[in-house]
Every structure is written in C-alpha cells, then in structure tokens.
Amino acid sequence: MAEGAAEVSAQSGGGGDPGAVEPERGVAPIKPQYLTTKEQFHEFLEAKGQKPSQESEAVDPAGNDLTEPEAKRIRLEDGQTEDGQAEEAAETGEQLQAQKRARGQNKCRPHVKPTHYDKNKLCPSLVQESAARCFYGDRCRFLHDVGHYLETKPADLGPSCVLFETFGRCPYGVTCRFAGAHLGPEGQNLVREGLVQVPPVRNGLDKALQQQLRKRKIHFKRAEQALRQLNRGPLPGPTSEATVPEGREAEGAPEQDNCDIQLAPQEPDAVGPPSGPLRTCGPLTDEDVVRLRPHEKRRLDISGKLYLAPLTTCGNLPFRRICKRFGADVTCGEMAVCTNLLQGQTSEWALLKRHPCEDIFGVQTPCLSYWSRASLTHLEELIASARGQAGRPLTPCPPTRPQLEGAFPDTMTKCAELLNRTIEVDFVDINVGCPIDLVFKKGGGCALMNRLAKFQQIVRGMNQVLDVPLTVKLRTGVQERVNLAHRLLPDLRAWGAALVTLHGRSREQRYTKLADWQYIEQCVAAAHPMPLFGNGDVLSYEDANRALQTGVAGVMIARGALLKPWLFTEIKEQRHWDISSSERLDILRDFTHYGLEHWGSDTQGVEKTRRFLLEWLSFLCRYVPVGLLERLPQRINERPPYYLGRDYLETLMASQKAADWIRISEMLLGPVPSNFVFLPKHKANAYK
C-alpha cells in the first residue's frame, strides 16, 4: 500500500522532487514522497472507499460544495438565491454578509440533537424487567408491546455486547443494539451468574440527593458560616483556620430551626458516596463541630507527574481511561457549572464520575457569576426608573441582595461544600483561565484576574469548606502584553491554594501564538514554595523536557493528549513512537468499548458514543505519523498538509473531512442513522 500511495503521489506531481518546494511556514515538514494535493488526496480515498459515489469531493454541476454538511449546504443555497435576487433588485449587501457569517465559524449550527430516540421507545419498566406494573398505566407514552418493539427495532450492530462480556449482564435488555448476544429464545435477558458485577464507576448522583437539591432543602451550614465571615471582613489566613470557636461553629442561621436537612456525613471507610440527605435532630455530628486543621488536610503531592488537563467535551471518562492506560498520572473531570450542580442536573453531575483506574482525580468548576430572576427584575426596574418610565423614584439596590441571590462566591462556596460531602475526589480545581466570551463578560474565567477582592472571597471561602486541597488554573493575563499571573501567585499561596497551573497564554492570544515558557519560569520563583505546573504546546518528550527545565513542578497536557494520547508513554520512555494505523484503530475501538460502558449500548448510548468519537477524531486528524516526518518532532502549531499515508487507513485518518470521520466511526459502531448530522463543536482554529 505504501508503494501505491507513493505512485499516486508521483503521478499527481504533488512534491516528488525533493528540492522543488521548501516547506511552508506553519506547515509540518513531511517527506516529499508522501505529499500530494487536495484533489488527489480525496480521489485516493474515494477510489479505495466503499461508497465512492456518496463520498465525492468534487463540486456538482450546480456549483454546490458537496463537502459541506447537508443542513449547512441548504443554508448556503438559500443565501446564494437571496443574493441573486438582491443583485437583480439592486439592494444592499446584507444577504452577502449573512452568507459569510454562515460560512465562517458555524455560528448558525443546526440543532442536531436526535429526536428519533423517543419514537417506538420501550417502557423503562419493561427494560429493567421490573416486577411491578408501569407507574403511569394507560397514560404512559412508551410502548408496552415487546413484540411490536422488536419488529420496528433496527438490526443489531455486532455479534457481541461489551456490557454483557464485561459485567455478565446488560442492563439495556432488548433495547441493546447488540442484544443478540444476550437474548434467550423467548426474548429474555440472559445473565452470566459467575460474572455479574456492578459497574465500578463512582461519584454518581443519588436520586434522594437530587430531589433534595431540586426542592432546595439542603442546608449548607459550613458555607453559610464562611460567607458570613466574608461579609464581615476578610477571612483569617490558612494558619488560623483551626482557631474558630466551637460555639460559633455550632450557631446556625437566624432562621434555622432545631431540625434541618443536612448533607449526610460520609463515613471514613465508605467506598462510595452517601445514600442521600440525612434528617437529623438535636446535637450536630462531630464532622460539623470539629474542623480539620490546615496541616491535617490531605496533601496533594503530584510533583513530577503527568497531568491530563480538564478538556471540555473531549475530556470525558472514556477518553481519560485511554490516557490513563498510556501513562497519565493525574486526571481531572470536565468543567462542571456550579449552578447546575446545585440544581441537581443529571447531565452536569455526570461530568463528576470517576473510574477506579483514576487514582489521582479532581473536578473543575468555573468562576462564573449569574443573576437570579429577582435580581434582573429589580435591575430592570432601576433602569426604567432612571429613564422616567417607572412611577416610583430611583432607589438603590440593597448591597447584600446580589450576593444572596447568586453572586458567585456564595454559589461556589456552597458547591464546594456539596462536593466535599457527596463525591470522592483528591482535589477541586477552580478554572480562572476560561477565555470564552460568554463566561468573561459575566465576570468569570479570566475576568476574575482583574477582580482581586472577588477572587479572594472565592478561594478563601472554598478552601474553608473543603477537606481536600484546592487548586487554581490561570492564564498569563487578559491582554496579550499585560501579564498578571506573577502578581496573583503570592496572594493565592496566602489564601490557601495548594497548587496552581499556569497556561502560558493570555486570553487575547487564545491559541494563535506559542506559549510563553520564559514567563512561566519567572512565575515559578513568585509561587515558591507553592508548586506550579506549566501548560502549553507540549506534543513530544522534547517539549516536556524543555518545560521541566524551567523549574515547574510538573507538566499539564491538553491538546497534545487529544492529538496523540500515547504522548504520556513517549514522555516516560523518552522516545518517539511511530504508531501504526492499525494500532490507532485499536485505540479508537477501545474508546468505543469504554463509551458503550459509560453511555450505554442502546440506540441513544451508541449515538452518543459516536458523537464523542467524532469530536475526538476532529483533533486526531492533525497528527502526522513519525515515519512520514522529515524533521522530528512535530510541533503543535504546525498544521499537516495533504499527504498519502503508508496505507489506506493511515490516509483516511489524516482526512479533515467530517464524512471521512463518520466512515471511521462506521468501522467501529456500524452504520449511522439516515438523519445523522455532525458538526464539530470547537470553532477556534489552532493553526492561524
């Protein structure tokens, strides 16, 4: 296959002469015999593909770009039609601008959430094989006829079920897309008696706790005390935390009764989270009265370890299991919003789940403020009064109202207490490096670096209610040439932060320039003796070695792990791994197995696994195999040109076309539904 790829490249004239064209700046230097053009690249894939007619890259006779997703292509055709009518009518160029916005960064992405899951869906009481009848009876909107469901159910995707092979029983029964492996002759769900075990994932959301959170019946005693101290003045330093009088600790809020709903205290030898809220009367437990001293808190000793960064969307539990297998030492869950956690949202609590292989695991919360409906209504009344549109004079808002209604020191401190009591983590991380406009404009993320008083309240408040170490993730600053991190590090050390991770870019830079490791080296001295981890542009063991020479306690890896999760192995073994395409496909197959375990093996779980696989493939296609490079190593800011790999699968994995990613997913998860549409979530171009 390597000879065939080289012959096609030579015939296309895409770089056969070694001295013809020098490598372009910002482009990975690939050996000339593998280089090709865009047209020849896609022709090669079409010639070897199973569906060449449907995967055509050329432009159709009408002039439409067939590489665009169907939903987006419809919008473009509408925009082109409107532009033609506008030219005939001599109108302004508003339609042309609208078309450019549609083609730019997927700002008008279609709502692609599947709706066919609820069609002909079997009642959960039948799926779970419950002895009791359906609670809703005749009012149930789901099917109760198993025979009719099996007639309309799509064909199985494979002969073996991962859940049945791993745990001895598939909880999805007849709805499993691999049900043929564990259904008896009469449609009953088979069980392997000697292999039955419960999936070992921890940090799940208990139903009783979820109900208490939704009804707002949880009393956050420690958080309220910390907030009262924040309102009276700055909290004492970390060394004086143990001197809080027990009498004041036992005092409740003025409106507190003698009988409150509190979070159930977790036993020291308990393996999983508590069963739910516990109603207590009378004296408080020792856990609420006796506070841990700072030196009694658990230590976070991860110096010299490889830290997998918390990655939104792609940093899910199956991906973290892949990275742990290749040598990642520390993992952190995806960023979870505090307000959603306090409201008991199942989707947000799913981000906190932890696999047993994650021996050092943390969760991350963003510094994000929000306004309650009452505060917004009051603010609108003030604005209307100022403009003379209200009947009453302008009155100032009470100073304590915004904080009590949802200012984020209050929210994050309560969330920290909730996490401290209900889940098993080794540390909690505050994300002060988020550059997203939605978060920044609300005063959260990177904006908190310019709001020192609010930042101090958050760190001190969370540190007081947590029994595990508190860490902080920063950027160099907000503006490109105005560094702020070196000023904040001594304060963070005094406020009680156990560790700080510094990303060597500002908010304005995003990913357009290389990380500033010289500035990170300066910040190491400012943070001493607090450990500082560095983050940015690590894609090889040489990059990691240069980063450690700056004096950082360790290296956090983010995009490098998305492009090549075996990077952790390369760093520990100090070598370049020329991994084959079949080995990379085996990694993707393991990811799908982990995904089916995590999200389920029914139709909804399979398509969710496929969607996260496609999101990851949108990063994996940027990796260039070691054997194809003229110079080692590949740099993270170098985009790959069009090249033909050593075999067909290696070439297919290099495609940046969503249709080819879907073709790879079909190798692992079977054919996609007819109405399936995929557009990658990430919009920022890392190679500008």
Q: Indicate if 434 belongs to the active site.
A: yes
Phi/psi for 598 (5° steps) reads: -85, -45
CA-nearest of 533, 573, 575, 572 to 555 is 533
Alpha carbon distance 23, 293 (integer Å): 59
DSSP secondary structure letter of residue 664: H
What six digits make up the tokens of 195? 């292999």
Is the separation of the CB atoms in 556 and 523 below 8 Å?
A: no
- Which region holds residue 681: left if phi is over 0, alpha if psi is between -120 and 50, else beta? alpha
Beta bridge pairs of residue 262:
278
Give me the torsion for CA of 107, 110, 114, 119, rounded to 10°: 150
CB neighbour list of residue 429: distance below 8 Å, 6 or more residues apart: 310, 332, 362, 363, 364, 365, 470, 471, 472, 473, 501
Alpha carbon distance 569, 541 (integer Å): 9
Alpha carbon distance 132, 130 (integer Å): 5
CA-nearest of 100, 104, 107 to 79 is 100
Alpha helices in 359-466 (DSSP H): 373-386, 401-406, 408-422, 437-440, 452-465
CA-nearest of 49, 462, 68 to 235 is 462
Beta bridge pairs of residue 306:
555
Among the listed residues 332, 415, 434, 621, the single catalytic one is 434
What six digits make up the tokens of 667? 């190798």
Q: What is the DSSP string of 58-78?
A: SBPTT--BTTS-HHHHHHHHH
What six digits make up the tokens of 633? 């190593």
Helix (H, G, I), strand (E, B), or coil: what is residue 18? coil
Contacts 24+ apart (CB under 8 A), 309-312: 309/501, 309/535, 309/556, 309/557, 309/558, 309/561, 310/334, 310/335, 310/364, 310/429, 310/431, 310/473, 311/558, 311/561, 311/562
Catalytic residues: 434
